[in-house]
Amino acid sequence: MKIIITGSEGLLGREISKYLEKNNEILRLDLTLGHDLTNESFVKDWFKKNKANALVNCFALNDHVEKNQKRGTLFDISLDSFSKFMDVNLVSLFSVCREFARNNKKSRIVNFSASTGIVSARPDLYNGEHKHIGYSISKAGVINMTKFLATHLAPEIRVNCIAPGGVEFNQDKEFIKKYSNLTPLKRMMKKNELNEIVEYLCSTKSSYVTGINFVIDGGWTIW
């Protein structure tokens, strides 16, 4: 099977690519590799030249800040930064999905949302500061876009979504402890725990599954 992975050099994209390449041919798309997915002309040209059985969209503008930076509150957010999240996480995602669908019939698309696309991020996790509302709203939009695409691209193309909870990587110990205590399973996600659900959704084993958002968050959103 040939699988295109966008955001292939990010935390999850790298892990998923490494796992899937054992039994599949992987085509990697990432800004660090010179691929600008916000450029509509590039997207149209690239997908016309590169065919595949499945598309996994890991690319996104994330809401990470350096340890010495402050997040601020809703009143500190500029409209330009809000629009940037929409442009990358929704407009560019739609462009990528559309051009893949235009050039690949009988295929599968897997999008990535987030738990904060379902429920609000908790300010108490960030010392009273706020995660960027643009990120959360854009990730909520990914879930709805997935349902829309699944409806309009059926029956030839199946489209599903994954909404992960917090992934442990290099956060400080206090944050990991606070997050874990707020989760029924009492820990954060390991970066390899999405590999098999992605593989399932890319394969024919999920042949009767479309338009679904798979929430993989350790129970975070069930409280």
Q: Mean per-residue pLDDT for 64-72?
A: 65
CATH superfamily of 2-222: NAD(P)-binding Rossmann-like Domain (3.40.50.720)
Alpha-helical regions (H) of the chain: 11-20, 40-49, 79-86, 93-103, 133-153, 173-181, 195-202
More confident residue, 123 or 141: 141
Instruction: Check if the beta carbon of residue 129 is closer than 8 Å to that of residue 73.
Output: yes
- Predicted TM-score (pTM) above 0.85: yes
Residues 23-35 pLDDT 10s: 999 999 999 999 9
* Sequence ranges of the domains in the chain: 2-222
CA of 34: how far to CAs of 5, 6, 127, in Å?
14, 12, 36
Stated as kind and residue range, the H or E segment containing 22 is: none
For residue 130, what pLDDT band results from cuts at 50, 70 and 90? Answer: confident
pLDDT of residue 151: 98
